[in-house]
Amino acid sequence: MAQTADSDSGSFEDIKRIDPAALLYGVQKMFGEKARAKTKEAYGPLIGVHLLVARVLAACLLRTNAIVTSATATSEQRNALFAAFVIGLTACESAIEEARYLQAHALLRQELEILAQLGAVRDGRRRPNSSPNVMALEESLRRLYGDLSAAAHVSRHDIIESVTLWNGPTDDLPGPTHMTRYFPEADEGLARRSFALHLYMMIRLIEELNLDLEERHPDHVVTEDERAALNRAVMLMVEERLFEWDIEKSEGRD
């Protein structure tokens, strides 16, 4: 169903001749793939950042795969949260790439909440059936929680409108026209910011995972080369002006 830009009109006419259900999903697939191509081009160096971070995360997980250790209530809860984050990686990344931004931001919000729950479990603050206390997270993440929640709850018209408004030509229509589209369309800036947030939360997940490795698997902690890879990933995001890094904090953390 993927088509080039030059043949979009023809492909749409072909889709209209088929079953209405096929039309609905065919349009979503066609425009999703167009958005994916534009998004990946917009990512630029972020593709390399993703590779660096994903390699470190995978290495940490693989080093302790199938190792049998005694379990505690804390370790069981944290393991489940780590797994929930990892299982959702592809869904979140695909939603961003295909410009399904409301859905992507709901998933980013969940990633942020997983980080908050990991901290609560580690500190013994988690309460059964309670919402995560994001106020325990660093300020930079707390500031984003409101907008992510508004997207997840579709509670602000301006956010919903921004990802459903048709900005294409309206030359044949009389007067000012407000049109709504029912298909995804890439916003390069929003895609880059969303992906950078996802990458940063992956780094934070690795930090939480390493705390468990230090306690339960001291021979399998994050290596110096892996730390260097994560620092390089952060600096690439800084160079792309998608991230501000506190040097003193960085040195203290290392």
Between 35 and 122, residue with greater pLDDT:
35
Q: What is the pLDDT of residues 195-222, one digit of tens each?
A: 999 999 999 999 999 999 998 888 889 9
pLDDT in tens, 55-98: 999 999 998 876 667 778 888 999 999 999 999 999 999 999 99
Residue 171 structure tokens:
């030359």
pLDDT surpassing 60 at residue 119:
yes
Question: What pLDDT does residue 169 have?
Answer: 63
pLDDT over 70 at 183, yes or no: yes
Task: For 103-127, give one letter per residue: b (16+ CB within 10 A) or e.
Answer: bbbbbbbbbbbbbbbbbbbbeeebe
pTM of the model: 0.85
What's the mean per-residue pLDDT of the chain? Answer: 86
